[in-house]
Structure 1
Amino acid sequence: MLQIKDLVFDAWGRRFFDEATVSLPKDAKVGLVGRNGVGKSTLFKLILDELHLGSGEIGMPRNSRIGSVDQEHPATPVPLLDTVLAADVERARLLEEVETADPEHMGEIYARLIEIDADRAPSRAAEILAGLGFTNEDLSRPMAEFSGGWRMRVALAASLFAEPDLLLLDEPTNYLDLEGALWLEARLKKYPHTAMVISHDRELLNNSVDHILHLKDGKLDLYPGGYDNFEHQVSEKLRLQAATRVKVEARREHLQAFVDRFRAKASKAAQAQSRLKMIAKLPPVSAVIEERVAPFNLPSPERPLPPPLIRLEEATVGYGGAPILRHLNLRLDLDDRIGLLGVNGAGKSTFAKLVAGALTVETGRLHRSQRLRVGWFHQHQIEAMDPTDTPLEIIRRAMPEAADSKRRAALAGFGLGYDKVETTVANLSGGERARLLLNMVAMEAPHLLILDEPTNHLDIDSRRALLDALNDYEGAVILITHDRSLMELVADRLWLAADGGITPFEGDMEDYAKFVLDRARMAARAPTQVKAEAVAPPPPPPPPVRTKTPSGPARRRAEAAEAALARASQALAVIDRALTDPATFAADPGKAAELGRRRAQAQAAVDTAEAEWLEAQEAYEAVKA
């Protein structure tokens, strides 16, 4: 599908690609991985022709469509649903043409509309939007009413809806919550064409892609399978490379020893020259250099506090208007590792502010130790950094009494070496800024760490380093993240923010993933209030007037079967309405599971009744004939 041959590209004083060559199979789902700053986003820009090649070729089949999500959708007065529908350019063009087309061309246009399944487009768009967290009420809202983060989701929805031949996604989960990331993971897996995704999300790379494209040292290497399989193959490749190097060096030393011993002897001169030629022909094998990732420094509190650290009793919190969270009855101890789940807007960040001390309860009680120290990292801290600041100036304010040598040593421990300490924030990568802030919030050895999306700018190896640091840290942790792997390996208890409250979630991340996907499927099946646009050909001539329906056993059997089918369908509809109500899941997940089993039984009853009705109707039609 995508052919890259001998690609060379230099920019900003460095070489990004050095005769890189790769060929992507048709309809492959490819995860593009590599360290921060190696050129993954640059490759996307080269494919999109936003940057010009130094040399080499990037080719695709003729008339192939490329789609990407480069920036948030503009704030226009166009309704949400219409914005996404407009992403299918061909459909929009055909619908426009059908209004003014000549009668002889109408048939061709309608045939093409039927071929691309245009009449299902509104419901398909609504399904994608529901999976990304939009409600039915949002479909008619103008784009100008949505925030930048939600408009990024619209841009993603538009690309998925248009279904280009090559879909390019650059860190798509960075602006999604965990629920949206789980939905996208399932959606990508069944995407009908080729997709290339830059991601540091291990679960997405394991569950959604069938190839890993590794960018390192200016080269592109394609590996089959998911990320775990890629890691195994790379480890084996490095092991074989190291073993080969040892063998080659041993052979080189053996030949060189013979040359050194007998070079001066006339009788052995020919053999010595022969061995010199053999040495020259030995293949060069580069040394295996392990890429080192700087660890995170999360010091544990020296003196533990008596439990509980925090206790909430019927607490309500908000911002002066209607409360965001109500009836909070929760307890947090020093050894707790809490994973906070819930869709965006459910109150997760509000709860983090309350626990961090940035908000106070409006009603109810909040008990907390007077000596409690809290380290709070949230994603907006990175955006709020002064672009003219430097790491040295930032840590100078945090350590006013320390010597510069001690400050520089601390920054080196954060992974910011000598060449970075006086670099402006604007010129630091997102990963470097995240490292700086994550280490800074933990400098005072807090009793509680609150981490709100800490991994957005970290590559996979840095995420593993953060996981290791969190597992060594001996304080309490509240974790909000869309990184399912980190959540599974850090959190030992899950709390769910939903319906204006926070309650314990009974189950693990596998249960929660199933809960989220089942809820998305139910939402997709629910009535969307979307009026399908008329794209079918003109209606056929009216049917002939039917004669009087004959009476008899066949008619009565058909009527009875039809009534049975209506009763079975009504029972199924009642269960579906319950399953599409979010309150059903929030109140009692066990009841929701039971409803799911009952729905399967009800669907089977509908299928049986429908088969009986068809058989009876066919018999009735035969009698009439």
Structure 2
Amino acid sequence: MLNISNLTYNIGGRTIIEETTLNIQDGWRVGVVGVNGAGKSTLFKLITGALHADGGTISLSSRQRLGVVRQDIPETDMPLIDMVLSANEEMAQLWKESETATDPDRIAEIFQRLGDMDAYAAPSRAATLLTGLGFREDQLSEPFSSFSGGWQMRVMLASVLFVEPDFLLLDEPTNHLDLEAIMWLETYLMSYPHTLMIISHDRELLNKCIDHVIHVDKKQLMLYSGNYDTFERERAARLGMQQKMFEKQQAERAHMQKFIDRFKAQASKARQAQSRVKAMERMDLVDAVIADRAIKFNFPNPDKIAPPMISIRQADIGYVEGKPILRRVHENIDPDDRIALLGANGNGKSTLMKLIAGKLGIMGGEVARSNKLRIGYFSQHQTEELDVTQTPYEAMRDLMAKHKPDVREPVVRAKLGAFGFSKDLADNKIGSLSGGEKARLLFAFMSFDAPHLLLLDEPTNHLDIDAREALVQALNAYEGAIVIVSHDPNMVERVADRLWLVKDGAVQNFDGDLEDYRKFIVQTRREERKESKKEKVAEVKPSVVEEPKPARVNPHKVTKIEKEIERLNAEKAKLESKMADPDFYKDAMRAADAQKSYATIVAQLEEQEELWLTVNG
């Protein structure tokens, strides 16, 4: 149980959280929401002890293990699977001690504790987490240092999930994940067996994985029951009631003030007037609901253009050096298309976007574009190219001046205003803008000339939930074509009406919706695991696996596998019986050999059971 009492935290003379109290019960699954800068990450740091409160207390049971994703990336060549296994420090220490321990009683304690921790299945669990987060089976033995920062953060996420802490804190866990990994994480968190607190701007994730919401707003923590959609409805109702109370109170005050102004000078009414003055002073004032300044986007609609805008014919796509990443791509893009690109990171989605944008040529085939076609291209990497010494107004003016040298100031400011830039904000240096504000500036840049086609490569990375909602609404109001790569399932479902799957060097239409795609991912990964198991079994027992697969179930083959499973179970039970006797550990060498034999038997048993399932279809 987490208890927060009268918590206050200040930074740089500004109060972030002020005298707020909250209790989180064990087993709750809590989403932490609020606008960027409200104090969500600050709250997490206060809970973990990375920051210290200026007032109040935060208490967590000493018996509960707190888990948080490490932000410091270690420099190590340790294999990925070992990185995850080492996250459980107690298990890792016990395995290490088992290799050197000589006291029989201590050895018995070690193996008993390892058994209680289900340590023999730990490598399988670690592999499941890593493959769920997008790693291939053959990558699990590769060194950690050989992967990019985003992939290393996936390993850090897998590590904290592997430990299964009693109280798990996740701060934007989907930031480094693609859509496929997010779908897997949703399923995993839905069945997480302990307390969960998660900061996320992913509406779909929150709706599926939480049963309470903490809203960080106006220096307070407000608790709601239910998922994110329930929170929005309840908050809207509460704010509506607050506004009605405010209006009623203001009407009452106006009536009292009118009486005071009218009769305060009359001796006969002076006492009543003074009484009303005191009543007004005692009144517990209700604040007016100040509507949050929701960001609104407005993409200008283009002029008409004949289809197809872009025609790709049997194109091989890649970079000058090396083999094509995508082969024989054969697709059209029409003026009314709304296309989402699906596929795991590294399969070529961004490469295809660059080709469509005209930033990448083809290695073979043909690409034809309409002469009138204007394209707006958004990529988060463009934020690195912004001149941080300019203001948004200066940057937009310079961009528009390339097309119309005598562009007037009101026109420039109107373009910026369509994406939430007031005059004050437009006159600040770009270097002082938040990530979300820079993203909005890029939207303004890409669309100032009313493009016929919007290419959006991960447009929501720095947008909070309200800004994402505004973007979805703006895209749905836009009358041109859209091609989008996004790890936000909510955005894909609401914006796209066609899905292209980019996988294994090919681009093809995906016939179905995102729910069908979820099932496709599950089935694909199941088949990949089966194939990997078959390859491992082939190395151990080639005579079993290398038989040609019959059209129907071969009863002799099934019997053979079942006998092998029975034999392995008998060996496993025999070893378990021996290992349960403390005297068995008096011979440390024999105990270590038995432990290795036991791990081998468990692995072989898993392989044979998987093979039995495969043979039986």
Structure 1-normalised TM-score? 0.82
Tell me the distance in 2 between the aligned counterparts of 1:426 and 1:110: 57
After superposition, the C-alpha distances for 1:294-315 in whole angstroms (9 at most, x for unaligned) are: 322311212x221101112211
Matching residue of 1:138: 139
Matching residue of 2:493: 488
Matching residue of 1:42: 42
What is the CA-CA distance between 1:54 and the residue it aligns to? 1.5
User: Aligned to 2:504, which of 484, 487, 499?
Assistant: 499
Root-mean-square deviation (Å):
2.6
Matching residue of 1:291: 292
Tell me the distance in 2 between the aligned counterparts of 1:472 and 1:10: 42
Contact 1:7 1:20 (8 Å CA) reproduced: yes
> How do residues 2-81 of structure 1 correspond to structure 2 at under 5 angstroms?
2-71=2-71, 73-81=73-81
Aligned amino acid, residue 183 of structure 1: W
Contact 1:73 1:154 (8 Å CA) reproduced: no
- With over 3 angstroms needed to count, the CA separation of the structure-2 counterparts of 1:452 and 1:308, relative to structure 1, is same
Matching residue of 2:318: 318
Q: Secondary structure of the equivalent of 2:492?
A: helix
Tell me the distance in 2 between the aligned counterparts of 1:568 and 1:81: 23
Matching residue of 1:573: 614
Q: Which moved more, 1:464-473 or 1:211-220?
A: 464-473
Q: Which moved more, 1:456-465 or 1:55-64?
A: 55-64
What is the CA-CA distance between 1:355 and the residue it aligns to? 0.6
Q: Secondary structure of the equivalent of 2:174?
A: helix
User: Is residue 328 of structure 1 aligned with residue 333 of structure 2?
Assistant: no
What is the CA-CA distance between 1:432 and the residue it aligns to? 0.7
Matching residue of 1:128: 129
Q: Secondary structure of the equivalent of 2:140?
A: helix
User: Is residue 477 of structure 1 aligned with residue 518 of structure 2?
Assistant: no
Aligned amino acid, residue 25 of structure 1: Q
Aligned amino acid, residue 414 of structure 1: F
Tell me the distance in 2 between the aligned counterparts of 1:5 and 1:378: 43
Contact 1:110 1:536 (8 Å CA) reproduced: no
Aligned amino acid, residue 337 of structure 1: R
Unaligned runs of at least 5 residues, structure 1:
543-566, 576-598, 600-625
Matching residue of 1:215: 216
> How do residues 299-318 of structure 1 correspond to structure 2 at under 5 angstroms?
299-302=300-303, 304-318=304-318
Structure 2-normalised TM-score? 0.83
Aligned residues: percent identity?
Answer: 49
Contact 1:373 1:446 (8 Å CA) reproduced: yes
Aligned amino acid, residue 439 of structure 1: A
- With over 3 angstroms needed to count, the CA separation of the structure-2 counterparts of 1:462 and 1:496, relative to structure 1, is same
Contact 2:530 2:614 (8 Å CA) reproduced: no
Tell me the distance in 1 between the aligned counterparts of 2:237 and 2:285: 19
Aligned amino acid, residue 10 of structure 1: N
Contact 2:341 2:499 (8 Å CA) reproduced: yes
Contact 2:295 2:466 (8 Å CA) reproduced: no
Matching residue of 1:274: 275
Matching residue of 1:466: 471
Tell me the distance in 2 between the aligned counterparts of 1:85 and 1:536: 26
Matching residue of 1:593: none
After superposition, the C-alpha distances for 1:398-437 in whole angstroms (9 at most, x for unaligned) are: 1333355654454344323344334444432110111111
After superposition, the C-alpha distances for 1:90-117 in whole angstroms (9 at most, x for unaligned) are: 1112212222332222222222212221
Unaligned runs of at least 5 residues, structure 2:
541-571, 580-607
User: Aligned to 1:417, which of 422, 430, 441?
Assistant: 422
What is the CA-CA distance between 1:229 and the residue it aligns to? 0.4
What is the CA-CA distance between 1:392 and the residue it aligns to? 3.6
Q: Which moved more, 1:398-407 or 1:423-432?
A: 398-407
> How do residues 90-489 of structure 1 correspond to structure 2 at under 5 angstroms?
90-101=90-101, 102-302=103-303, 304-319=304-319, 320-400=321-401, 401=405, 402-404=407-409, 406-489=411-494
Contact 2:416 2:444 (8 Å CA) reproduced: no
Contact 2:415 2:444 (8 Å CA) reproduced: no
Tell me the distance in 2 between the aligned counterparts of 1:266 and 1:246: 32
Contact 2:31 2:200 (8 Å CA) reproduced: yes
Count of residue correspondences: 548
Q: Which moved more, 1:511-520 or 1:464-473?
A: 511-520
What is the CA-CA distance between 1:574 and the residue it aligns to? 3.8
Matching residue of 1:548: none
- With over 3 angstroms needed to count, the CA separation of the structure-2 counterparts of 1:385 and 1:172, relative to structure 1, is farther
Tell me the distance in 2 between the aligned counterparts of 1:568 and 1:107: 29
What is the CA-CA distance between 1:461 and the residue it aligns to? 1.0
Contact 2:8 2:17 (8 Å CA) reproduced: yes
Matching residue of 2:567: none
